[in-house]
Structure 1
Amino acid sequence: MTTATHETVQRTAPELPAHRDRNVLRWLTAYTASMVGDSVYYIALSWAAVQAGTPAQAGLVMTASAVPRALLMLGGGVIADRLGPRRVVIGSDAVRCAAVLAVAALLYATTPGLWPLALLALVFGAVDAVFMPAVGALPARVTSRGQLARVQGMRGLGIRFASVVGGPLGGLGVAVGGAATAFALAGLLIAVSVPLLCSVRIRELPADDKAAAAGGTAWGDLLAGLRYVRRHRVLAPLLLAVALGDLGFVGPLNVGLTLLADERGWGAAGMGWVLSGFGVGAGAASLLLTLRGRLPHAGRLAGWSILAGSVAIGALAFAPTLVTAVGTALLIGLLAGLSGAVCGALLQTQTAPAYLGRVTAVSSLVSVGLTPLSMPVSAAAVGAWGTGPVFVASAAVCGLGGVVALSVRNLRRAELPR
């Protein structure tokens, strides 16, 4: 009788929220430290490349990582599912840390030119192809399914923190000791994540999921992951909606915003205020999901947020004053952050844990591998037709993502777990 009562109490005990779970907080600290290190690394790489070569050569170095990242991303998802996400993330951070510290030591000792910087960028791109799918698969092994939405919000806060802190830290490192010091700082920040990740407890996959994670050859596993996405009634339209939203969002909010600020005479400071407004809005959306843990009608919320955000993107090009532009950017950040967090939470909760690495790889390939291609297209289009038509066209593409989310019944009715 006592044993039965004890088991009942265990089954009905309230679940510990993720933001109060020390295991999740260790994971979040490791992830945030790694992301801050990434931000410092990019500052150091850009500074070192500009100092060592021409602007064109520096641009090639900065984009060198994109090629291996795009080519290897899908294979990285297979590796993450086969070997386990924590093991892959630890290995990836260890390799990145060693590579960055090696270049820092080389820069302290000599002036080697561009070749070690290009090699470092290629290494980072190849490692990112494995790291990013593993990072996407890890939360499901760290917390329960009911807390995945909250963890997605916490992850968003970590990304915002890294973007705010990483830039000044990188600049400080360059000011104190040049690119070598900034690289060393980046390596040390990435190194912080390794012991923390080693201490994170992970949940074992059930036997059926283990078989799905490594059921045959690597090529067979890759095809199985793609079939899983294609046949899934929520994931397939969700990934299409995310792809359209990203394609319509990246160009205007990167290259387009720079050209808009120059056209309106806002200057670099004005552009910084607009970007800050976006960052505050996106951070508020992540904080909302962190505190609430679950938002009802997730599919509908994602669709309407994408649609409303697309309208705000189009309106940004016609903002009459800088203050109006900052307010519009804050609204864009809030809506884009909300739709991004909800879509990310749906991806986490709708995907079987055994496939999360491969599903995240597909999503990351679109966001990181293909979407940046819209930036030079946006720049050329602004030069030909001006900011207004390009922002409106981009908003229309983004809005199509919302249309997909609202028109596909299974996605529209998708809910986050309680």
Structure 2
Amino acid sequence: MTTSLVGGPALAQTRRIVTEIPGPRSVELAQRRAAALPAGLNSAAGVFIAAAGGGVVVDVDGNSFIDLGSGIAVTTVGNSAPSVVGRAAEQLARYTHTCYLNIPYEPYIEVAERLNALTPGDHEKRTALFSTGAEAVENAVKYARIATGRDAVVVFDHAFHGRSLLTMTMTAKNQPYKHGFGPFAPEVYRAPMAYPFRWPSGPQNCAAEAFSQFQTLIDAQLGADQVACVVVEPIQGEGGFIVPAEGFLRSVADFCRDRGILLVADEVQTGIARTGAWFASEHEGLVPDLITTAKGLGGGLPLAAVTGRADIMDRAHSGGIGGTYAGNPVACAAALGVFDEIERNDLIGRARDIGELITRELRGIAARTDIVGEIRGRGAMIAVELVKPGSREPHKDAVAALARHCHDNGVLVLTAGTFGNVLRFLPPLSISDELLTEAFDVIRDGFASL
């Protein structure tokens, strides 16, 4: 049994179930939650956390779960990673807030300098910091609109960009993200995503046909001179870890450049070492005009960013972009700790190793079942899409049953997909191979029980 330092006592890196799931303390807290919180703020896990670190989450009843979700790709470097805790605690003791637009501070500049250096492209860049991924995406659109003088925004099927009015509009999936919350923002248009597994004429035609439809939408229906930006996830997250067909994103990028349309890469879930590169755009050879980051950037503290070409970012007038908490100094310090952890421990390489292990385990499972439609992803961002035997019909019930089996047996997993039929894996990069292998023993048993 190994241990992990989590800013204090060592946390045993083990799977351990000592009560029913949920346990009595979690049940008590769930009752308090029901009395104090809106009904919609519920959790599929059913347990309440007491501690986390390395590759485990320990609940209030003493059950220790293997973590394959990282708080939805937020604790990429590990929960309470030493450098994150150390830097944030030191900053917390100095000052907690001034509002950067009121009294600026150095940690904000340091984070911006790091992102300017790390994001793809050797052009001059600028970075603005925010608090959430949705806020970053929304401000990227604002930058694109003021820089181009155009209004229209093009997004894709299966996309997820956030829950604010604009980003909810940009998000594709109705339930649970949009249902009942309209009317929606204007001037947002949707193009087909090159989704190889579900492309009607087959994966071999996917890239070319999807691009043709994208081009027709903009040139014939919208008018390219009306489009400010195209916003795309290099790997679609909530949509089911869809990796676009090879060559599609490259064609989209070239088209945008030819038409004077800005390309925005939404790397909120894919960025900051998650896919085995600093940014998933690198796998496609993309140099976006603007890149949004969040989730893994702050190591668990709320921090987001828009990084882009200097000539675009400098177009917004003074006071037009910002926010009271945007670029909070403690969150900035935590982000510098994230960069330390990634570089000191070669977590980019670790993400690739994790991806190989997960893919190998899933292929072994696929060889023994007829419900695995596709295994896909990059680095430590891997998913399996489940289908009903002999078809491509989404098998949502199987995913729900697997998630329940995993939770009941000490493994925390996440579901995804437009059709709810994708099991996704986002483990912290601090997890051990031993824990990953043990987690897949549980997952394998879950598939066998189906």
Please state which structure has a larger fraction of its residues in strand: 2
Please state which structure has a larger fraction of its residues in helix: 1
Q: TM-score surpassing 0.5? A: no
| RCO higher in structure (CA 8 A, sep ≥6) | 1
Relative to the length of structure 2, the TM-score reads 0.27
Relative to the length of structure 1, the TM-score reads 0.29
